[in-house]
Structures are given as structure tokens and as C-alpha cells.
Amino acid sequence: MSKSRSPSLRMAAAVEDCSLQLDILGHSMYVKARRQQGDAAEKEKLRLTLLRGECQRLSQLMSALDLELEEKQTFTCLQLFMEEEMKREREREQQEEVEQEVEREVERRGAALKLHEAELECRREELKEKDQLCITLQAQLHCMRENLEKKKEAEKTEAEWKLQATEAMNRRAEAQLKDELQRLETRVKDEKRSHEFVMKFHLDEHKVLQQNKEEFQQKKQKMLQEKKQQLSDICHKRKLNIDRLTMMSRKYKEMVQVMLEDREEQIQARAATKVQAWWRGCMVRRGLGPFKKERGDKKGKKAAKKKKKK
């Protein structure tokens, strides 16, 4: 919001006066706080210091508002201050609510503590009753131990009887196992005999295979020697063929060279005959050398030509 120049200056003067009065009030609060002495005056000092801080904050606001009114003719800083105050008020309310909640929690915990103490008393009484029960149970346990000892003696006699019965059963089982062992030994002997027979058969087969292997190796060596001989013959023939081929290629190159030379000589001869014919034609046409003619003949020919024209 903006104001005109003159009202804003009036308001600035009023605001400046307010700031001066707040400064004076703050100074007086400071003097009073310094004069307070003793333990009872601590609360009063704290109150006066808080009031002095509020006065200083308000005076700073008034000076800022004065400057803004003089320069811009607005009072936005006052609106900002009011918003900050609203925020502080909310924070104070929230803090008070938190403190009240803490007090309620403390009261709730105190009540819970009292209930816990009452429960502890009840448990102590229950423990006393349980101690009495323990004494009665110990007596019962002693009786049960005596009964158990009697039962153990009876079980011991029964176990001895069972042990004797199991020993007899073991003797019978041992005799059966011995019979089974004899049967297995006879079977093992039969297996050994059959194994020896099979081993002999395999040895004979191995010997036959060894002989066949030696014969096959001998045949293989003979075949390898024959193949090597054939390979050497083929290599010798290949060398001879290569030599013949080189000779033929050499002869072919010589023949080609001779043909090229003959062709060049023929071309040169034709060119020479052409040049000679051209030269002879030039000499005949111009009457040079041995083809030169006399001048009288020329004049007679010219006269005959004229007559013919006429």
C-alpha cells in the first residue's frame, strides 16, 4: 500500500516520536533492572530484561517504518512484523500445548507407577503362596523319588531278563551268520575259479591279437615302403616333366622372338617399298633424275594441246 507524500511524512514523524519514546522506555527498564538486588528480584530482573528487548525490537521496527515512509510511502515492514508476530504467537501456543501434553504424560505415568506398585504388592502375596506350594511340592517330590527308585529296581531286573533273552537271540544269529559265511566262502572259491578261467581266455586272446598286430605292422611297413618308392618315382617323373616344360617354354619364347623379328622385317620392307614407290612417283611427276624430259618436247605438247582445244 502507498500513501501520498504529505500524510506519509506526518506518519513518519509520529513513528519517529514513537521510536524515541520506546528508546527512553527501554533505557529506564535497564536502569531499574540494574537497581534490583537480592534473590527475590531475579524474576523482576528477568521480566524487565524481556520488556527491554521488546522495546528495542519495537523501536527498530519504528525506525525501519520511518525510513520506508520517507522513501517509498509504504509500510510493508509493518505487515511483515505482524506476520512474524503471528508466527511467534503460534509457536508459543504450540509450546504451551507441548508443555501441557508433557504434564499430562507425567500425571499419566505417575498413575501408572501407582498401579505398578499395587501390582507388585499383589505379586509379593502370590510369591508367598507359591513358596508354600513349593514346600508341598518338595514333599511330593520326595515321595515320587522313592517311587522312582522302586521302579528303577524293577526295571533293572526286567532289563537283566531281557539281556539274557537278547544274548540267546544273538547266539542264534551268530550261528546263522557262520553258516552264511561258509556259503559265501564257497561262492568266492567258485568265483575265483571262473575268474582264472576268464583270465586265461583273455590272455590267449591277447596273444592272438598281439600276433595279428605284428603281422599287420609288417604289412603296414611293406606298404609304406612301396608307397615311398612310388612317391619317389612320381617325384622323379615330375622333375623330368618340369625340365621338359621349361625347355618347351624356352623354345616357345625363342620362336615367338623369331616370329616378332620376321614380322618387323616384313613391316620395314613394306614401308621401304612404299617409300621407294612414292619417291619414284614424285621423280616421274616432276621429271627429276633419270626421268628428266627435254624442253622441245614440252613445247610441242603444249601446241598440240592448244590445237585440240580450238
Q: What tens-digit pLDDT sequence spans the chain (310 residues)?
A: 444 556 666 666 666 677 677 677 766 777 776 776 666 567 777 777 777 777 777 777 777 766 776 677 666 666 677 777 778 778 878 888 888 888 888 888 888 888 888 888 888 888 888 888 888 888 888 888 888 888 888 888 888 888 888 888 888 888 888 888 988 988 888 888 888 888 888 888 888 899 888 988 898 899 999 988 999 899 998 889 899 898 988 888 888 888 888 888 889 888 889 998 888 888 888 877 777 765 555 545 555 555 555 4
Strands, DSSP E only, in the chain? none
- Smallest Cα–Cα separation from 63: which of 6, 17, 130? 17
DSSP 289: G
Please state, as a whole number, how many other Cβ atoms lie within 10 Å of the Cβ of residue 75: 20
Q: Which long-range contacts (CB under 8 A, 24 or more apart) does 46-55 make?
A: 52/26, 55/22, 55/23, 55/25, 55/26, 55/29
Instruction: Please give the Cα distance from 67 to 15 (Å, whole number).
Output: 10
- Smallest Cα–Cα separation from 78: which of 19, 148, 140, 163? 19
Instruction: Please give the Cα distance from 124 to 118 (Å, whole number).
Output: 10
DSSP 170: H
